[in-house]
């Protein structure tokens, strides 16, 4: 298998397969399904370079009364605790069911996450290509590799069901 170069970092790593990324998004979908009924069902999983799961989290803004309790932020925090290496998640991949917002995109850049894999695009608040492109801003000292749209229909379906239920009730 060949190698790919991370944008702007100079590191070399083995590319991940499509099936690996789909498995990550399926894991994120499974955790998203556990969301509190009041929270938007977004799930995130962080894995180490060797594929070992470090953390998983679901949106918990309503459940925790915390505006920063997005799945990505919670998973990044938990993964950093597991690694015990301060705040750096070098070599890690973050998989999330929905394109990250500006806060979450900034958090994964600051945590030095190597790869981001996400499911559904978010045209209203997405910060990885839809509305903004925080993670590819050349002014930043870290730019993760990104793969978006993985199992996008399945991820969007979970959100559509949630919002339809919200409108009804």
Give the catalytic positions in this structure.
72
- Closest to 45 in 3D by CA, of 106, 152, 119, 153: 119
Determine how β-strand 115-120 pairs with β-strand 93-98. Answer: parallel
User: What string of H, E and C letters represents the secondary structure of 98-129?
Assistant: ECCCHHHHHHHHHCCCCEEEEEECCCCCCCEC
Beta strand ranges found along the chain (DSSP E)? 4-5, 12-13, 43-47, 53-58, 93-98, 115-120, 145-147
Cβ proximity of 159 and 120 under 8 Å: yes
- Closest to 35 in 3D by CA, of 24, 26, 44: 44
């Amino acid at each position: 298998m060949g190698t790919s170069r991370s944008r702007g970092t100079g590191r070399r790593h083995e590319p991940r397969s499509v099936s690996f990324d789909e498995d990550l998004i399926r894991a994120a979908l499974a955790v998203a399904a556990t969301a509190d009924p009041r929270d938007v069902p977004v799930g995130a999983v962080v894995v180490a370079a060797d594929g070992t799961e470090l953390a998983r989290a679901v949106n918990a803004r309503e459940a925790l009364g915390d505006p920063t309790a997005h799945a990505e932020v919670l998973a990044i925090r938990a993964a950093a605790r597991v690694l015990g290496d301060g705040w750096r998640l070098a070599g890690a991949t973050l998989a999330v069911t929905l394109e990250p917002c500006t806060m979450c995109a900034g958090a994964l850049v600051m945590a030095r996450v190597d790869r981001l894999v996400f499911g559904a695009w978010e045209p209203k608040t997405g910060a990885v290509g839809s509305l903004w492109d925080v993670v590819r801003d050349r002014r930043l000292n870290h730019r993760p590799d990104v793969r978006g749209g993985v199992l996008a229909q399945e991820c969007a379906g979970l959100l559509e069901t949630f919002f339809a239920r919200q409108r009804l009730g």
